[in-house]
Amino acid sequence: MARRNIILIAAVMFMAASYPVAAQQPPESAVKADGGQPGSIEGTVKAKDGSVVPGVTVSVKETRLVTVSDAEGKYSLADVPQGQVIITASLPGFADWEMPVNVGPGQKVNLDITLEVKQQSFEVVVSATAPKLMTASENISMVTVSPREIFSMPSLGQKDIFRAMQLMPGVSASNESSSGLYVRGGTPDQNLVLFDGFTAYDVDHFFGIFSAFNSDAIESITLYKGGFESKYGGRLSSVMDITGKSRMGDRFAIGAGVSFLSYNGYVAVPMGKWGSFLAAGRKSFQSSFSDRIRDSYTTGAGGPGGGGPGGGMAAVEPDSTFYDVNARSAFNLTARDTVTFSFYKGADDLDSSRKLETTSRFLESRTISGDITSYSRWGNRGMSAAWDRKWTDALSSRFTAALSRYFKDRERSSKMVTKDSDTGLETTFDRGMREENHLRDLTFRNDSFLLLGRTHNLEFGAEVADISIDYGFETDLGYRPGAGGTDSTSAVPEKLRMDRRDTAFQYAVYAQDTWIPFSKFTVTPGLRATYFDRTRRTYLDPRLSVIYHATDRLRLKAAGGRYHQFARDLVREDLFEGDQDVWTLSDGVTQPVGSATHFIAGVSYETPKYLWDVELYRKNLRGLSEMPSFNRRRPPPNLILRDYTYTGSGVAEGVEFAGQKKTGSNIGWFTYTIGRVMHTFPDFSTEPYRASHDSTHEFKLIDLHQWRRFTFSGSWVYATGKPFTEPLGITTITMPDGRLFDVVEMANKNGARLPPYHRLDFSAGIDFLAGESYKATAGVSVFNAYNRRNVWRKEYDAVGGELISTDINYLGLTVSAFLNVNLAGPEAFSRAGPAWLRADSGGRARPKYEPEQEFDFYGAVVSADQTTLVVSTRRGNQTFTMNSRTVKGSEFEPGALVHVYYKTRDKQFVVTRVVQKIKNWDQVKSAFD
């Protein structure tokens, strides 16, 4: 009955959103064209380079009418009073925008908005402003990052959006081996990663140093650190919502880059008013630099004999290659219909095989030698198709179909020989392991947005997901025979095998309302209901967030909610190769559905130059699962996964401090988090213990400086060392049949800690060859500048009754460089527009422009008054008509360098805005060369 009910609800939600029945029409006053009736305003928000800007707050000044631009940059305001109103647009990191608009009775006004990156004004010398990487949000626990600016951050030659996210408040930056995000005590599998609507289940490239996504293919990225809205579900900790890029402004563009590790490229093709297309790709190659990274994953500073029980150390020299490709296209079918297609594919190959040769620490007469073979391959494939439909001025919908595939295959085997030089006795030990994990996720989703008057913005939708997961595991336990008198013996392996296939359907509906009871107060209640057919239960997730603007600068905020997770990445302890992860589906019994309850409260104080923010958080976790090591005890030969999975609970809590300098040529921020993550698994420990990713203290300091064409940056990270379970030694047990079996004795769960982690990085970049149609950027980064030997993990091999330990370290001092070149199309597509068409164009056809299309250019003022503006560029002088409502000509002195925006009206060039805020000198210089 419950299943039929939830399916019925989902069907009703889909039908209601896809059919513009009268019950969903906006208030009559918002759509009628009768006299005296309100009108509406809609349009698209873009950056200066033509790329769309989501998340922009658009409002009618001195009213309660407010909305936010969607993933495609589109916005809509209904029920706008007739007469002249002032439209404002704002987003942290961009200059505030406003424009007066006349709205007639029942009139629909199309108003596109172009935002400028927030800059400093100049007097005699142009003063550049440092790139704005991080922008805080009006919403609680929400951060956005600009992919266009991440090149300025220290890196290993690759612009990496996930590495930039790890420098944000509340996100751990000490997990150097993983691009996955540890957000406020959560694990990467508890973070929902959406790329154009499909779910990414693994985000690592190249030992986890790089993420799986190419920043050239990303338009925007938003991180919800907790208390996220009802439209998101299926994860316990956080959400990362990524929107792909399908254009580079309004011109054809092509770009390429190379670093010491890989090469990358992209091509962007605009299709006029019909749409756009972009494809991008990356591939690594073998070089001395990749060898340098490989060699960094080697022994600790202790050398042979140090680092753990048994004392022997082994070197690790892994080889790794990766690639990824993106393609995205967007088509404007009608004024109300847009279709978007997105595709992604990426994979890694890792070979960490090695040779071992050492002398026993306890018996100098015994030598140990052999080979360890270890190979892994993993990756993602994803694709999505989305249809955006605007039914009315107040109602819009998005329908998405998404397919995601994840795979991870691992093989590991070792063949060891021990030889006693005194007796000549040789013993051979063979051990092998195979592990496979494959996942498929097919999802259909609808999201709708309905404006209900001036104070209510309703969002609702439905989702159906079909998920299947395969897991296979096979290993030799490595038993050895008892003492004998022969000169050569061999171990007799006993196999352990596991095969599992899980499938599930997941149905969900949600609704939430952004209610503005008065101008300083916003309340967003929501509810999400999910039916999971493996447990035959419906899970209700109520959510609520409240924001109160006590003053123009002081904000008080709070949020809470319940969250459930049905697919999780189980951690399997592996003494010999570090912890491994396995994606599985909950069954509600031995693997319960995970749940979390969030409590968040905070306060922020923001001025034009600075932002200060404090947030307290707590997450109560239930239904956690973990797979223990197969070496802790002897498992049954025919292992069933549900019989060998431990369940428990946990708490993640802490306080997060952040301070940011937002403007000027030197900007930056600091973050400090003090917290703890405690797990309770009765099978592991009778007492709560620190989770493996717990870090009591983490401090980050980031600084960026812009000087003319140069960008400098630096970051320093300090974090408490991670907990780990330390082995005490090996105990040999004699079986009833006379065989000997080695059992590893373990200390208390996560009772030991690795040394503290800290790292200093620097970066410098320069823009050169900058012009209207081309640009090149080169840079160098110094990673781990003082060569700190941070320990990643410890690995152990059991040979001849001894434990041989290996300290696997993170990267030491590493210097890298990169070069990126970007080329744009011919000037016929330039945003400079018809005012600057060259006189030598001859008989060539003039480009076609859209009505009310806005153009912009850089130039120097020749003269200005209340009615006309004369501007000079390399193409000569041009006269423009001043729009007295928005431009005051008396402000512009002759010779002043300006950024002019204009439109063509009645065969005249009408100025809409004049900005004395220049992004960089090369843009101005190109107007006169």
pLDDT digits (tens, 9 = 90+) for 462-471: 999 999 999 8
- Condensed to tens digits (0 to 9), the pLDDT of residues 140-168 reads 888 877 676 666 677 665 678 888 888 88
- Condensed to tens digits (0 to 9), the pLDDT of residues 646-673 reads 889 999 999 999 999 987 778 889 999 9
DSSP 277-345: EEEEEEEE---HHHHHHHHHSS--TT-TT-SSTT--------EEEEEEEEEEEEEE-SSSEEEEEEEEE
pLDDT above 80 (res 480): no
Give residue 552's pLDDT band: very low, low, confident or very high (50, 70, 90). confident
370-384, 404-418, 656-670, 893-907, range with the lowest pLDDT = 893-907
Give residue 792's pLDDT band: very low, low, confident or very high (50, 70, 90). confident
Higher pLDDT, 588 or 366: 588
pLDDT above 90 (res 288): no
**Residue 673: phi, psi to the nearest 5?**
-125, 130
Alpha-carbon distance values, 277 to 31, 269, 272 (Å): 34, 5, 11
The highest-confidence range among 49-63, 271-285, 456-470, by mean pLDDT, is 456-470
**How confident is the model at residue 321, as a pLDDT?**
85
- Condensed to tens digits (0 to 9), the pLDDT of residues 192-211 reads 999 999 999 988 887 677 78
Which residues lie across from 547 on neighbouring strands?
A: 522, 557
**How confident is the model at residue 595, as a pLDDT?**
97
pLDDT above 90 (res 691): yes
116-125, 660-669, 736-745, 902-911, range with the lowest pLDDT = 116-125
Give residue 874's pLDDT band: very low, low, confident or very high (50, 70, 90). low
Give residue 683's pLDDT band: very low, low, confident or very high (50, 70, 90). confident
pLDDT above 60 (res 128): no
Higher pLDDT, 18 or 770: 770
**How confident is the model at residue 459, as a pLDDT?**
94
105-119, 537-551, 711-725, 832-846, range with the lowest pLDDT = 832-846
Question: What residue type is 473 in one-letter code?
Answer: F
Rg (CA), the chain: 30
**How confident is the model at residue 888, as a pLDDT?**
47
- Condensed to tens digits (0 to 9), the pLDDT of residues 505-514 reads 999 999 999 9
Give residue 847's pLDDT band: very low, low, confident or very high (50, 70, 90). low
pTM for the whole thing?
Answer: 0.74
**How confident is the model at residue 826, as a pLDDT?**
52
Contacts of 841 (CB under 8 A, 6+ apart): none
pLDDT above 80 (res 865): no
Average pLDDT over residues 442-450: 96
Give residue 44's pLDDT band: very low, low, confident or very high (50, 70, 90). confident
Average pLDDT over residues 501-508: 95
Question: What residue type is 217 in one-letter code?
Answer: A
Measure the CA–CA gap between 593 and 565, rounded to whole angstroms: 6
**How confident is the model at residue 71, as a pLDDT?**
67
Give residue 305's pLDDT band: very low, low, confident or very high (50, 70, 90). very low
Give residue 341's pLDDT band: very low, low, confident or very high (50, 70, 90). very high
pLDDT above 60 (res 642): no
Domains with residue ranges and CATH for the chain: 32-115 (2.60.40.1120), 142-823 (2.40.170.20), 829-925 (2.40.50.320)
**How confident is the model at residue 817, as a pLDDT?**
87
Burial of 401-425, coded b for 16+ CB within 10 Å and e otherwise, reads ebbbbbbbebebbbbbbbbeeeeeb
346-350, 363-367, 482-486, range with the lowest pLDDT = 482-486
**SS3 state at 160:** coil
Burial of 647-682, coded b for 16+ CB within 10 Å and e otherwise, reads bbbbbbbbebebbbbbbeeebbbbbbbebbbbbbbe
Q: Where are the beta strands (DSSP E) in 352-455?
A: 354-359, 366-390, 395-420, 426-452
Over the chain, what is the mean pLDDT?
78
